[in-house]
Amino acid sequence: MDWSTLAALTVDGLAVGSIYALTAFGLTLVYGLLRVLHVAHAGVYAVGAYGGWLAYTLTGNLGGTIVVGTLLAVIVGVFLEWWFYRPLQGKPPLVPLIGSIGLFVAVGDLLRILFGPYQQSFPVLPPRPILSPLTLPQVAVVGSTVLLFLLVYVVTNRTALGLSWKAIAQDLEMAAAVGIPLPRYTRMAFALASGLAGVAGILVGAYYNQIYPSMGSVPAYKALAVVVLGGLGNPWGTVVAGVLLGVIESIATAFLGNQFPPEGVAFLAMILVLLFRPQGLLASRIQG
Amino acid sequence: MRKVLALFTLVLALALGSLGTAGFSQMPPIKVGVLAPLSGFAAADGKSVLTGIQIAAEEINAKGGILGRRVELVTYDDQADPKQAVSFTRRLIELERVAFIIGGSYSGASLAASPVANEAGVLFMAAYAVHPDITRAKPFAFRMGLLGPVQGRVGAQLVKDLKLKRVAILTIQNDFGRALEAGFREHAKKVGLEVVFAEAYPPGNQNFTPLLTRLRGVAPDAIYASGYYAEAANLVRQARALGLRVPIIGQEGYDSPKFIELAGPAAEGVLLTTTLDRDSRNPEVQGFLKKYRERAGIPADMVAASGFSALKVMALSVEKANRLDSEAVRWALRSLTNLESAVGHIYYFTEDGDPVKTATVQVVRNGEFRRFRNYTDLSLLKP
């Protein structure tokens, strides 16, 4: 294998991994606060993609595309928290989990009924080579992911909101006792998580020039694997795991090809981590 | 009084009923079973094939139906899933009591459905599925489309005719892809092509960059890639983004306006082996293309044309047999020769029920499928 091939594969893996990280980050944030697996998160991701696509087809404006898609995802995510997860607080964790799977299926079917079963084209990022081996979509995806995570880093580490999230994740009752307004702060976590998922949906739709109702299916299960790899409820571990998984998948697909299904990489890694390092790749900072 | 009223209602209902079928005899309609993937990953093809079949049914009914009876379609959505295809085939046969079935689904689902129909002695016509075993050793199973291995051979012949030698193969990992690859490899060997790279990818795959990056390293003269329009669009788009400029040869899975839409400018120049020749002068083809565009608002694809032809050939066979008995219709179908259909000229049907028919190579030019060349060489086209 020569260096240029390896470089091209790494760049591709970084782009795919960025999407995993953006999607899984919200999942792990929500898990850390509410201790539920928000499977419908992948539905929010598809909603974001459709919102962006709709804005793009109607206006052709790139800025509007991102704003509308992200906002729509945030609205749907916060709505789900208020209407679904909040009332189910205190129920055994299986209840919101099963409900969440149902919600995910419902969101996909709703999109199908509204917009048809077809793949729709979303030609925001023409696949132009920029600087070999980089292409425009790759640079756009990795670049926006880095920017977003810088922003997220500031929010989680430099604001009272981020500090409160950590407190809630560590000990919910204690956090409530010291006067942290739980419902409001978990709702804001949902807003951030859903916004990131919405952007991920838009980016993935643009990257492959395809959006379709069931586009959340693969992220739905892969994000779970990423969350486990990163250590349940450990946001930055999830980001590292997502990017790493993207790169490993890309290289494995190129060289193992049909001998090993690429979709299996995530789960093989997840099984290994559960067996030998159940706390996740990076030791969990939040859970201590 | 009540009895009289009931009797009156009954008479009225009968009168209204016969009014509704004016022009047709008092005989009940002929029920035709249709399996199509109307939802799920293959939904676009499902909609196309059903539209094609509906146009055929309207055309047949406008000309007096089959044996003077109206054609009535009974459609089930099998989601291109073999399990669903089996249970819906049973339903069509046992509950709906259909006269015959048009299989408007993919190879996997059709492969599961055709033995069920065959065992029940109900004719099954696969519209466009390519796998050989759908019809093999099943006297009641027929096919309208081009057999996978034959189409693979045509692909290899095309590479040869383009005077290219070193070819890379990318195969979609299912019955469709395997059937195509088998034919391609067999003929490639025969005409002296060199297969320098071969990999498979799972259906629904979106990221082809890893495989294409490695493929680029072996510098082939051409890429033979199977897949459906959604996969194909990504494959072609990413190949061009990586700077791969060699000809890409696809097959009928690419044959959808959605391919051109999703691949965008990268679709230009892509070649595909298929059966719907947009530049054919045949009135059967041109008539269908026009009707489809009027009805669906988009250009027709191979899948729609295959569904259309499948029902028309079945109708023709029933007329020829002059009864609905499966055994008689089967022989009538086998005796058809030199038939002009919307999906090519059919020379005859083989003992296995596969058509020996012409193939066309279409090229994407200015966002449209156009004829590149046609293959009529029987030694290449015979299964």
Q: How high is the ipTM of this complex?
A: 0.89
| Co-location of B269 and B304 in the same domain | no
For residue B210, being part of any structural domain is answered with: yes
Q: B41 to chain A: which residues are within 8 Å by CB?
A: 214
| Co-location of B374 and B239 in the same domain | yes
Residue B16 has a pLDDT of 47
What proportion of chain A, given as a percentage, has pLDDT over 70?
97
State the average pLDDT over residues B3-31: 59
Residues with Cβ < 8 Å from B6, sequence gap 6 or more? none
Residue B44 sits at the chain A interface (C-beta within 8 Å): yes
| Co-location of B266 and B367 in the same domain | yes
| Co-location of B166 and B236 in the same domain | yes
| Co-location of B161 and B77 in the same domain | no
C-alpha pair distances (Å), A91 with each of A99, A180, A183, B269, B340: 12, 22, 16, 58, 66
Question: CB–CB of B233 and A209 under 8 A?
Answer: yes
Beta bridge mates, B72: B31
Question: CB–CB of A119 and B258 under 8 A?
Answer: yes
Residue A259 sits at the chain B interface (C-beta within 8 Å): no
Q: B40 to chain A: which residues are within 8 Å by CB?
A: 117, 214
Residues with Cβ < 8 Å from B91, sequence gap 6 or more? B76
Q: Which domain holds residue B373?
A: 149-274+362-381
Q: Which two tokens stand for residue B145?
A: 């489309």
| Co-location of B219 and B332 in the same domain | no
For residue B347, being part of any structural domain is answered with: yes
In angstroms, the CA A198 to CA A218 distance is 15
> pLDDT-derived band of residue A280, with 50, 70 and 90 as boundaries?
confident
Q: How many domains would you assign to chain B?
A: 2
Q: Where are the domains of chain A?
A: 21-216
* Helix A41-59 with A94-115: angle, nearest 10 deg: 20
Residue B22 scores a pLDDT above 50: no
Question: CB–CB of B258 and A118 under 8 A?
Answer: yes
Quote the strand ranges of B285-382, DSSP E: 337-341, 344-349, 355-357, 359-365, 368-375
**CA nearest to B152, candidates B320, B375, B302:** B375
Q: B204 to chain A: which residues are within 8 Å by CB?
A: 218
| Co-location of B372 and B309 in the same domain | no
CATH number at residue B70: 3.40.50.2300
| Co-location of B133 and B30 in the same domain | yes
For residue B263, being part of any structural domain is answered with: yes
For residue B139, being part of any structural domain is answered with: yes
For residue B1, being part of any structural domain is answered with: no
Q: A119 to chain B: which residues are within 8 Å by CB?
A: 44, 229-230, 233, 258, 262
Give every strand in the sheet of B271-274, ordered side by side: B194-201, B166-172, B222-225, B248-251, B271-274, B359-365, B368-375
> pLDDT-derived band of residue B261, with 50, 70 and 90 as boundaries?
very high
| Co-location of B295 and B341 in the same domain | yes
Q: A13 to chain B: which residues are within 8 Å by CB?
A: 210
Residue B19 has a pLDDT of 45
In angstroms, the CA A252 to CA B210 distance is 8
C-alpha pair distances (Å), B285 with each of A48, B52, B289, B345: 42, 12, 6, 10
For residue B15, being part of any structural domain is answered with: no
Given B211, B229, B264, which is nearest A257 (Cβ)? B211
Residue B210 sits at the chain A interface (C-beta within 8 Å): yes
Residue A49 sits at the chain B interface (C-beta within 8 Å): no
Q: Which two tokens stand for residue B119?
A: 């065992």
Number of CB pairs, chain A paired with chain B, less than 8 A apart: 98
| Co-location of B161 and B229 in the same domain | yes
- DSSP for B183-213? HHHHHHHHHT-EEEEEEEE-TT----HHHHH
Residue B137 has a pLDDT of 94
Residues with Cβ < 8 Å from B359, sequence gap 6 or more? B146, B150, B151, B154, B273, B274, B275, B344, B374, B375, B381
C-alpha pair distances (Å), A102 with each of A3, A80, A105, B96: 46, 12, 5, 33
Rounded to a whole number of angstroms, the distance from the CA of A1 to the nearest CA of chain B is: 9
Q: A112 to chain B: which residues are within 8 Å by CB?
A: 39
State the average pLDDT over residues A246-266: 83
End-to-end CA distance of chain B: 70
> pLDDT-derived band of residue A61, with 50, 70 and 90 as boundaries?
confident
Residue A264 has a pLDDT of 83
| Co-location of B201 and B95 in the same domain | no
Residue B21 scores a pLDDT above 50: no
End-to-end CA distance of chain A: 42
Residue A147 has a pLDDT of 97
Give residue A140's region: left, alpha or beta (phi > 0; psi -120 to 50): alpha
